[in-house]
Amino acid sequence: MAENMTSLNVHLTRAMRERARDAAKRLGKPTGQLIKDALDEKLIALDARFRQEDAQREADRLAKKAKHDPALRQGLRGIGSSSLPLTTQVRTSLVAASPEQDPMEALYIELAKSILAAGNDNEEVRKRVVRAIAAVRRERPLTAPPEGRILETLEVYMLKLREEGVEPVRTVDSFVGSVLDVSKLKTSGFTE
């Protein structure tokens, strides 16, 4: 099935046209195809950026809503600590699920899942909140938001995950017969 095509007149400088011709020649493509491919790549990048900006606006809207909700104000803020250990785990900049997803968004989602996995154990929730704040600060050491903003963002992602009904990732060990926190498992480092 042929795709509907349309014509577009574009005025290029001579220098740009020559550069496009040279590049097309090296790639073995027609100049028009090179320009279409470049435009397609740019549009894909812009779409990803627009999705990210929309998601950020939605997160800001939900954070504002959560800020004014009395039930949520008592949420995580009372659990956090101002003296945070920065020695927990490793940098998690590679947790993004897809190329379009912002690494920080993926980090917040993973941290929110971890906090939700703690269940009703207040001490464990407090520890995971402290680790989450430390992880965000470690991921962006120079541009990390203040502790209150990190907590607000975590609350927003936790609300989203609860609304979506996403179950936290759990591993049930058949030998022990209980749920294991995989993030706390350590290996000896021995390899065969």
Distance from C-alpha of 16 to C-alpha of 115, rounded to nearest angstrom = 53
Buried b (16+ CB within 10 A) or exposed e, 107-133: bbbbbbbbbbbbeeeeeebbbbbbbbb
pTM for the structure as a whole? 0.41
The whole-angstrom distance between residue 78's C-alpha and the CA centroid of its chain comes to 25
Distance from C-alpha of 113 to C-alpha of 66, rounded to nearest angstrom = 18
Spell out the residues 6+ positions from residue 86 whose beta carbon is closer than 8 angstroms to its own: 134, 137, 138
* pLDDT by position in tens, the chain (length 192): 457 788 888 888 999 999 999 999 999 999 989 988 888 888 888 888 888 888 888 887 877 776 676 555 555 555 544 444 444 334 444 444 555 667 888 888 888 888 888 888 888 888 888 889 888 888 888 888 888 888 889 988 888 888 887 655 555 555 555 555 555 555 555 554
The size of the chain, in residues, is 192
Q: Say if CB 160 and CB 146 are below 8 A apart.
A: no
126, 131, 136, 140 alpha-carbon torsion, rounded to 10°: 140
Distances in Å between the alpha carbon of 32 and those of 21, 23, 35, 69?
9, 11, 5, 55
Distance from C-alpha of 53 to C-alpha of 61, rounded to nearest angstrom = 12
Which run of H or E residues covers position 171? Answer: strand 171-173
- Which is it for strands 178-180 and 171-173: parallel, antiparallel or unpaired? antiparallel
Domain residue ranges in the chain: 19-168
Three-state secondary-structure class, residue 172: strand
Alpha helices, DSSP H, located in 69-146: 70-73, 103-117, 122-139
